[in-house]
Amino acid sequence: MAKAKSAVPEGHHTVTPQLTLDNAAEAIDWYKKALGAEEVGRAVGPDGKIMHAELRIGDSLIMLNDAMMGGKGPKALGGSPASLWLYVEDCDALFNRAIAAGAQVHGGNMGAMADQFWGDRCGTFTDPQGYRWTIATHKDSRLNLVGGRRPRRPNRLAYVAQPSATSCVPACRSHRSPRSR
């Protein structure tokens, strides 16, 4: 066996999601239609199930397969505890495309497409296979979380403008410079 040039295969990133699906072939078609995915390849077993497939969405690859060898898809588990976050240039267009293809808008604050207090515009849906996707466009890079905490209410002063994370807003007591304490 020839030695690999890199520990990470070409085209992959350090973290690559792998989705187990109840019907991988159907899901591949849906991801192509709804998210503009490009099929990179698939390996089909003698029983017709997809043992491994790769899709490219934007600059990222995802791997997927049919449920087998005791594996279960999100429907069999009552939903998936994992979700995927997809950054694109036009989140509204892709979100609407996915909804038109049969995705269900996720309930709660993150469901409908909206501008978020941390600088993203995003919306969340569940695909027909049961995976949750958040489609986002990063709109404002001037805001940083202070101290790694989310504000109790979005309208509270808990953010600072870049580039200085040491000069917090007046309401922040824990990150003031020693001179201001």
Domain containing residue 36: CATH number: 3.10.180.10
pLDDT at 145: 56
Same domain as 66, residue 104:
yes
Same domain as 130, residue 47:
yes
d(CA 17, CA 166): 35
| Angle, vertex CA 34, rays to CA 32 and CA 38, nearest 5 | 20
Same domain as 98, residue 53:
yes
pLDDT at 110: 82
Phi, psi of 86 (to 5 degrees): -125, 115
48 in a structural domain: yes
Domain count, the chain: 2
Same domain as 67, residue 47:
yes
**Coarse DSSP helix, strand, coil percentages of the chain, rounded to the nearest 5 percent:** 15, 30, 55
Same domain as 113, residue 24:
yes
pLDDT at 36: 96
pLDDT at 148: 52
105 in a structural domain: yes
Same domain as 56, residue 128:
yes
Sequential pLDDT tens for the chain (181 residues) = 788 888 888 888 889 999 999 999 999 999 999 999 999 999 999 999 999 999 999 999 999 999 999 999 999 999 898 999 999 999 999 999 999 999 999 987 788 999 988 889 999 999 999 999 999 999 887 665 555 554 554 544 444 444 434 433 344 444 434 444 4
The number of beta carbons lying within 10 Å of the beta carbon of residue 63 is: 15
Same domain as 127, residue 89:
yes
d(CA 91, CA 97): 10
Same domain as 28, residue 109:
yes
Place of tokens 């049969």: 102
pLDDT at 158: 44
Q: Which residues contact 146 (CB under 8 A, 6 or more apart)?
A: 158, 159, 160, 165, 168, 169, 172, 175
Same domain as 172, residue 90:
no
d(CA 57, CA 71): 24
Q: Which domain holds residue 102?
A: 18-138
5 in a structural domain: no
Same domain as 149, residue 80:
no
Same domain as 131, residue 66:
yes
pLDDT at 147: 54
Same domain as 112, residue 82:
yes
